[in-house]
Amino acid sequence: MDRERQRGLDAGRRWAKVATAHEIATVVSGSFDDVCRIMPPDVSDHFVGGFREGVLHVWLGA
């Protein structure tokens, strides 16, 4: 569980560094279900949550 979340967190941070401002805003402002729709179907909820959190960290400059 924590491993999947960490994988998502790392992936979200890497993605946010190369994404456009519009793409980042879409992920940050979207719901969990919205983010799930853009993910491959085989990723876990923990990965998705970590991904969104990683994007948010980059967006906030944390």
pTM above 0.85, yes or no: yes
Work out the number of other CB atoms within 10 angstroms of the CB of residue 55: 27
12, 50 in Cβ contact below 8 A?
Answer: yes
Q: Is pLDDT above 70 for 28?
A: yes
Q: Is pLDDT above 90 for 1?
A: no
Mean predicted lDDT score pLDDT of the chain: 93
- Range of lowest pLDDT (13-17, 30-34, 54-58): 30-34
Burial category of 8 from C-beta neighbours within 10 Å (exposed 0-12, middle 13-18, buried 19 and up): buried
The average pLDDT across 10-32 equals 94
The average pLDDT across 31-47 equals 93
